[in-house]
Amino acid sequence: MIIDQAQKEDIPSLVQLRMLYLSADFPDMNKEDAELIEERLPDYFSRHLNQDLFCFLAKKEEEILSCAFLLITEKPMSPSFINGKTGTLLNVYTKPQYRRQGIAKALIHELLKEAETMNLSTVECKSTEEGYGLYKASGFKETNEYKLMKWRSDHAE
C-alpha cells in the first residue's frame, strides 16, 4: 500500500470518492442534488487541490482504497490558533472491503504529519459514532468549548 497526496490527474477519482462518502453520509440525498454536486466537484478540485485542500490517498497498485482530506483555513489569530492557520479533517472514506485494516489511521497519520509541516495550530474534525474511535486513536481530543451551530441560506444552489 502506498500513501500519497492527490494530484490533478486524480480529480476523477476524488470526485468518485467524494460521491461515495456523501452517499454513505447522506443516504437520503436526492438525485438532483447528487447530480449537481458531481457536476461541480471537478471545478472545485481544480481550483483548490494542493492550494488550500490537500487530499491523501491510500493506493494498492492502481486502485484507491481510502482517502482523507485536509482543508486549510487562515483566520485572525487567537490563543486557540496562535498563528491563525487551522485545518479541518474531512471526507475520511475507506471502501467497505478495506475497512478495519488500519488504512484510514495510516492516512490520518500522514495527514497530521503534513499539518505539522504546514505549521497548523490545530486540526479539527466532526466525528460520527463509527469514526470516533479512529479519531481518538489518532490523537484527536473531544472539546466542549463551543456548541456546533449552522445557518443555511434558503437561496443556496
pLDDT tens profile 62-120: 899 999 999 999 999 999 889 999 999 999 999 999 999 999 999 999 999 999 999 99
Tell me yes or no: is domain 2-137 CATH 3.40.630.30. yes
- Please tell me the pTM assigned to this model: 0.90
Whether the CA torsion 130, 133, 137, 140 is positive or negative: it is positive
**Residue 5 CA to its chain's centroid (Å):** 12
Q: How far is Cα 91 from Cα 126, in angstroms, rounded to an integer?
A: 10
